[in-house]
Chains A and B, each alone.
Chain A
């Protein structure tokens, strides 16, 4: 008889053990970004809900933001870096082709554990939570550090009217670990690569290789098309995440969507059919759109405002460039 392979057994349940954040150091006002796009504070507010966005100093790197959030999350979870046995970093702004940022973060924390990046743009944090949940329950890891970090200000064009003026810098991190109750519901995720062009860079590295006169690549989007997709196609995804968690909209305490645009958030609330009792995260007003970092940053903001507490049930959904999306219901740490 051939030998039987032994397999890992994981925890029955997982949950988020602690949340940490790092915001860019500078608040950038609408007046500061309005000039080059011939716009105004009023126009930006009415189109996006943004009053200020946070941006990091020139000398602060995306990994600096990620490390600050990571250390904060580990401390909030009541753990030491040595308790972490996997690192997942969601980012689109780590400016290297070959190596990922996650191993560098692991090294900064004194770790040599498995570490890789997730490239799922504004859905990256929810993709990370889904993967960490599966890793903990399968026994692939015990405590997974999930980070969403972006320094989008490295990839903006002040004269671009489509997306640059929305973007901010920041990082949010959590530790996902074993739990004696279900703390993370099923992740509902998907993609639509036919919309890859809707959020993209102005030109690719190969474009520049072939034409050295082209400018450094910066982000662009087809705003109205992305608005339509996010506002209307994401509601069924969010509803499925609630349903697959065995809950109804009335069970949700807080709705924490990716902070892309206040008008997307408001339309989603309507389309999902969330009752008025649900607290809706609107950190977009002060932090701008920070891509993979926006959901954990918005979550931290809700705690700071006293709008949520540990044990509350939150629906979170990320969606963006790819196109990709992911949603799940979680118990707040």
Chain B
């Protein structure tokens, strides 16, 4: 069953918190991974890989640059699950 965007955000926030030490509560839809959360390209790849496993979706490497905000990632995962 596909998860709601709220569930995806919560799951993604957990992954980001685990990988970077950022408080899960700070991982909001409008936050930019690089500018607001200070996540570099290698941490981003780790987060993407862990999200692929957690949500059972595939996020091609060339898509990652388009995931600018947390909201972009949540929408992508939601669409990929559908």
Are A232 and B41 also in contact (CB < 8 A) when A224-B61, A224-B64, A225-B61 are? no
Task: Judge whether B40 and A231 touch: CB under 8 Å.
Answer: no
Query: Shortest Cβ distance from B4 into chain A, in angstroms?
Result: 27
Bound-state CA distance A228–B59 (Å) is 12
User: A residues within 8 A CB of B73?
Assistant: none
Task: Judge whether A263 and B49 touch: CB under 8 Å.
Answer: no
Query: Shortest Cβ distance from B6 into chain A, in angstroms?
Result: 27
Q: Which of A207-253 contact B (CB under 8 A)?
A: 222-225, 227-228, 231-232
Q: Is the C-beta of A267 less than 8 angstroms from some C-beta in chain B? A: yes
Residue from B40, B41, B42, B61 whose CB has the most chain A CB atoms within 10 Å: B42
How does the 8 Å CB contact mask read for B30-59 relative to A, with 1 for contact and 0 for none?
000000000011101110110000000000
Bound-state CA distance A40–B43 (Å) is 19
User: B residues within 8 A CB of A231?
Assistant: 45-46, 49
Q: Is the C-beta of A47 less than 8 angstroms from some C-beta in chain B? A: yes
Query: Shortest Cβ distance from B51 into chain A, in angstroms?
Result: 12
User: A residues within 8 A CB of B48?
Assistant: 228
**Closest CB pairs A-B (n = 8):** A228-B45, A225-B61, A224-B41, A224-B45, A227-B42, A232-B49, A227-B45, A263-B42
Chain B minimum-CB-distance residue to A222: B61
Task: Judge whether A228 and B61 touch: CB under 8 Å.
Answer: yes
B-side interface size class: 10 to 19
Query: Shortest Cβ distance from A262 into chain B, in angstroms?
Result: 10
Bound-state CA distance A223–B61 (Å) is 11
Extra 11 A-B pairs, beta carbons < 8 Å, given A222-B61, A224-B64: A47-B42, A223-B41, A224-B41, A224-B45, A225-B45, A227-B42, A228-B45, A228-B46, A231-B45, A231-B49, A261-B42
Q: Which residues of B contact A (CB under 8 A)?
A: 40-42, 44-46, 48-49, 61, 64
Task: Judge whether A47 and B40 touch: CB under 8 Å.
Answer: yes
Q: Which residues of A contact B (CB under 8 A)?
A: 46-47, 222-225, 227-228, 231-232, 261, 263, 267
Task: Judge whether B46 and A267 touch: CB under 8 Å.
Answer: yes
User: B residues within 8 A CB of A224?
Assistant: 41-42, 44-45, 61, 64
User: A residues within 8 A CB of B42?
Assistant: 47, 223-224, 227, 261, 263
Bound-state CA distance A222–B62 (Å) is 11
Bound-state CA distance A231–B61 (Å) is 14
Q: Can you list 25 A-B pairs, Cβ within 8 angstroms, ordered by A?
A: A47-B40, A47-B42, A222-B61, A223-B41, A223-B42, A224-B41, A224-B42, A224-B44, A224-B45, A224-B61, A224-B64, A225-B45, A225-B61, A227-B42, A227-B45, A228-B45, A228-B46, A228-B48, A228-B61, A231-B45, A231-B46, A231-B49, A261-B42, A263-B42, A267-B46
Bound-state CA distance A214–B45 (Å) is 32
User: B residues within 8 A CB of A223?
Assistant: 41-42
Bound-state CA distance A49–B15 (Å) is 23
Chain A minimum-CB-distance residue to B65: A224
Query: Shortest Cβ distance from A265 into chain B, in angstroms?
Result: 12
User: A residues within 8 A CB of B49?
Assistant: 228, 231-232
Query: Shortest Cβ distance from B20 into chain A, in angstroms?
Result: 12
Residue from A224, A227, A231, A261 whose CB has the most chain B CB atoms within 10 Å: A224
User: B residues within 8 A CB of A47?
Assistant: 40, 42
Query: Shortest Cβ distance from B41 into chain A, in angstroms?
Result: 5
Bound-state CA distance A231–B40 (Å) is 15
Bound-state CA distance A267–B44 (Å) is 13
Chain B minimum-CB-distance residue to A232: B49
Query: Shortest Cβ distance from A195 into chain B, in angstroms?
Result: 10
